Amino acid sequence: MKGLPPERVAHAKMNYSFIVPSMLVLLVIMGYYFFRPRLPIRLNRSFLAILVIDIFTELFECISYRLNETWPAHDPRLLGAFNLLFYFFFFSRSYMFFVFTISVLDARSIGRSELHRYVPAPFFGFALTVLVNPLTGWLFTIENGCRNGPLYWLIYACGGSYALFSLMAVYRHRRELTAHEVISLTAIQLVLLVGLFVRFLVPTFVVMNTFCLMVIIIIFISFLNPDLYLSERGYVYNLPAFQALLSECYRRCRPCRILGFALQNYNEHREIFGGKQMDDALTRINRWLTDSFPELSAYYLRNGCFALVGQNCPDLFAIRKKLRERFAGAWKTGVGELRLNVSFVEADMEVLDCPADRMVNTLMISLDDLSRVSEPDASLSLSDSIEEINQKLIIRRCLERALEQDELEVFLQPLVDCATGKRIAAEALVRLRDEEGKLIRPDLFITMAEQEGHIVQLGEQVLSKVCRFIRDNDMDAIGVRWINVNLSPVQFMARDIPARFAAILKEYGVSEEMIHLEITEQSMIDFSLLRDQITGLHENGFEFSLDDYGSGYSNLSRVRQYPFTNIKIDMEVVRNYCRDRDLLLPALVQAFKKMNLSITAEGIETAEMAGALKEIGCDYLQGYYFSRPVPMTEFLAQAV
């Protein structure tokens, strides 16, 4: 042996002082990991593979080194077989650490790049080298004891290259990962590289396993500690686990059926029975779920909402029946008994074909709704909710695009003067088109604009387009004395609205009396900012109409507190009056007239309706009978 570097002689005396404690720690981790529930996702499977391969690598490493040390006493075939197994597992372990990194990227929905596609190839090369070694002796030979072959360095090449591949993949996708994930994945590769280097420097120390153990601990703490995915109430999974499973099912097109259920009036129950008793009941429910449905995975999501998920087409009807039967009885708690009702929502991932995060959100919204109801056996269809959300996403996209590119359209509908029977003004009504050019209902996108902070921009775009229309056309010639523009109460939140409106009018050289602002009765909440803003705008010269009168709860005294000059009677009130002519509407119209307010009747669809409303004293009429809201060019053409 003298004269030969130890690296070249595999049967040098080895130092095992590191391997025994490493194996003991590994056994503790494995014990903890195996005895806790594990989510059936790819990340878990690759970690499991790492644990199994690592334990085999260590085992075959120890056995083969021991046999090598005492080689004259053994059959060379035995020596060959164990060395072969050791090399095979050593290569596999390096490859599995790489697979784990890819699984993390995959779990974060990062698409598979070329790197992911081609890098398994070297592993097959390494495995082939092991298989043909008895013929070639490239890795080791067993004449006169075990000696390292000319390609022994492949051990370092394999480990090193996969650690570098992993580092590259992490670096490339660093923005899609959390900082914690980037640090953990980088640390894993660096520890592996250092381990290989130490092994290279001191090959007689069986030390690589200790570095692999460090990596396993990092993976365990950062990604796969079972406690990260378990609910604290009993042995069921939690919401992050639910999200992880669904996103994997979606990505891998794996069928999966979900039965969500919510405890009805959960918050009220918690108030009445107390948190401790409720928690006790939740723990018992969770235990019962895991015991009663071993073929499904059970999740406690939040606030009395649960889910059962099955990946082998479970019979949701039967599961629902079993749940209903159990919930017909009481749940014993430490103090007494609780009777709880449940509502259900079902979902089939294959049928819905909707990304997991959207599906989880919709399901949570549906379950939260269901936890507030108290009808027996209430249930919801998730496909309807998902359709609704898809619809909203389309509307949001179109709205944002239209706002950004100044593409909102403004239609005009004439207001007819009862005295002359001719148009006297117009109402501007905003229009938005979807990607196919079809009109989207204003109530849908206006509510969205209000909720998502776009209404100020929307209102200003409409006002600008109305002003441009006034500037570019001869209003007298088309018989229009003013144009009504609708305002949302949310627009009043912007304190500088009077200044902004004044600036728009100035830009187009339009005077304030050309614009009448409409605000709906529904939005007339008692809100001092609203009153101040209306007064401010009125002082600037704008006139105000109270829109949709009769659809809310305003009384006459409230109306008097605002500087309205016109009241628009809601079309439902108009319709009711035309159906059943009582005395209420005529009296109301008279009362308004005494207050010096002009009256517009909305929703006039027939000559008969026009006659009836004119008769009771309305000043202006608006409705499909005269014209539907039309694009500005068409409105101009009508005047000719």
The entry of Mg ion, ligand C2E, none that residue 34 binds, CB within 5 to 8 Å by partner kind: none
- Asked if 413 touches ligand C2E (CB under 6 A), the answer is yes
Q: Could you give the CA distance from residue 20 to residue 564 in angstroms, rounded to a whole number?
A: 88
- Asked if 310 touches ligand C2E (CB under 6 A), the answer is no
The entry of Mg ion, ligand C2E, none that residue 296 binds, CB within 5 to 8 Å by partner kind: none
Residue 508 CB, shortest distance to Mg ion, in Å, is 21
In angstroms, the Cα distances linking 43 to 22, 46, 101, 258, 413 are 23, 5, 9, 21, 60
Structure tokens at 41: 């996702």
Q: Could you give the CA distance from residue 621 to residue 422 in angstroms, rounded to a whole number?
A: 10
Pick from 57, 133, 40, 138: nearest CA to 95: 57
Residue 624 CB, shortest distance to Mg ion, in Å, is 13
Residue 429 CB, shortest distance to Mg ion, in Å, is 7
Structure tokens at 409: 């359209």
For ligand C2E, the closer CB: 280 or 543 = 543
For ligand C2E, the closer CB: 312 or 633 = 633
Structure tokens at 381: 């269809």
How many Cα atoms occupy the beta-carbon half-sphere of 531 within 13 Å?
9
Q: Could you give the CA distance from residue 124 to residue 388 in angstroms, rounded to a whole number?
A: 49
Structure tokens at 342: 């449940």
- Asked if 611 touches ligand C2E (CB under 6 A), the answer is no
Residue 611 CB, shortest distance to ligand C2E, in Å, is 15
**Is the C-alpha dihedral spanning 604, 607, 613, 618 positive or negative?**
positive
- Asked if 605 touches ligand C2E (CB under 6 A), the answer is yes
- Asked if 548 touches Mg ion (CB under 5 A), the answer is yes
For ligand C2E, the closer CB: 181 or 548 = 548
Strand partners, 9: 147
The residue range among 4-12, 495-503, 516-524, 536-544 that interacts with Mg ion, by the rule CB under 5 A, is 516-524
Residue 548 CB, shortest distance to ligand C2E, in Å, is 5
- Asked if 624 touches ligand C2E (CB under 6 A), the answer is yes
- Provide the residue type at 128 as one letter: L
- Asked if 518 touches Mg ion (CB under 5 A), the answer is yes
The answer to whether the beta carbons of residues 1 and 188 sit under 8 Å apart is: no
- Asked if 547 touches ligand C2E (CB under 6 A), the answer is yes
Structure tokens at 446: 């206006």
Residue 172 CB, shortest distance to Mg ion, in Å, is 54
Positions 590 through 619 that interact with Mg ion (CB under 5 A): 602
Three-state DSSP class for 517?
Answer: strand
For ligand C2E, the closer CB: 23 or 530 = 530
Q: Which residue's Cβ has the minimum distance to ligand C2E? A: 623
Q: Could you give the CA distance from residue 534 to residue 518 in angstroms, rounded to a whole number?
A: 11
Q: Which of 94, 247, 341, 520 binds ligand C2E (CB under 6 A)?
A: 520
Structure tokens at 360: 């989880």
Residues composing the chain: 640
Cβ atoms < 10 Å from Cβ of 106: 21
The residue range among 6-14, 94-102, 324-332, 517-525 that interacts with Mg ion, by the rule CB under 5 A, is 517-525
The entry of Mg ion, ligand C2E, none that residue 446 binds, CB within 5 to 8 Å by partner kind: ligand C2E
In angstroms, the Cα distances linking 135 to 86, 252, 273, 596 are 17, 41, 76, 108
Q: Which of 67, 629, 632, 636 binds ligand C2E (CB under 6 A)?
A: 629
Structure tokens at 517: 């602002």
For Mg ion, the closer CB: 301 or 485 = 485
User: b/e per residue, 120-151, with b = 16+ CB within 10 A?
Assistant: eebbeebbebbeebeeeebbbbbeebbbbbeb
For ligand C2E, the closer CB: 145 or 623 = 623
For Mg ion, the closer CB: 226 or 629 = 629
For Mg ion, the closer CB: 54 or 570 = 570
Strand partners, 331: 338
Q: Which of 92, 486, 566, 600 binds ligand C2E (CB under 6 A)?
A: 486
Q: Could you give the CA distance from residue 69 to residue 475 in angstroms, rounded to a whole number?
A: 105
Torsions phi, psi of 598, nearest 5?
-85, 160
The answer to whether the beta carbons of residues 203 and 7 sit under 8 Å apart is: yes
3-state secondary structure 368-429: HHHCCCCCCCCEEEHHHHHHHHHHHHHHHHHHHHHHHCCCCEEEEEEEEECCCCCEEEEEEE
User: b/e per residue, 532-564, with b = 16+ CB within 10 A?
Assistant: ebbebbbeeebbbbbbbbbeeebeeeebeebeb
Residue 432 CB, shortest distance to ligand C2E, in Å, is 10
* Residue at token pair 């030979």: 141
Positions 423 through 452 that interact with ligand C2E (CB under 6 A): 429-430, 442-443, 446
Residue 476 CB, shortest distance to Mg ion, in Å, is 24
The residue range among 197-205, 268-276, 397-405, 483-491 that interacts with ligand C2E, by the rule CB under 6 A, is 483-491
Q: Could you give the CA distance from residue 141 to residue 160 in angstroms, rounded to a whole number?
A: 24
* Residue at token pair 């794996």: 254
- Asked if 547 touches Mg ion (CB under 5 A), the answer is yes
For ligand C2E, the closer CB: 126 or 411 = 411
Q: Which of 462, 480, 505, 537 binds ligand C2E (CB under 6 A)?
A: 462
Residue 258 CB, shortest distance to ligand C2E, in Å, is 37
Residue 421 CB, shortest distance to ligand C2E, in Å, is 17
- Asked if 248 touches Mg ion (CB under 5 A), the answer is no
For Mg ion, the closer CB: 297 or 413 = 413
Number of chain residues interacting with Mg ion (CB under 5 A): 5
Q: Which of 623, 632, 635, 636 binds ligand C2E (CB under 6 A)?
A: 623
In angstroms, the Cα distances linking 253 to 139, 247, 636 are 41, 10, 55
- Asked if 566 touches Mg ion (CB under 5 A), the answer is no
- The DSSP call for residue 220 is I
Q: Which of 486, 488, 600, 622 binds Mg ion (CB under 5 A)?
A: 486
Point out which residues bind Mg ion (CB under 5 A). 486, 518, 547-548, 602
Point out which residues bind ligand C2E (CB under 6 A). 413, 429-430, 442-443, 446, 459, 462, 486-488, 518, 520, 547-548, 571, 602-605, 622-624, 629
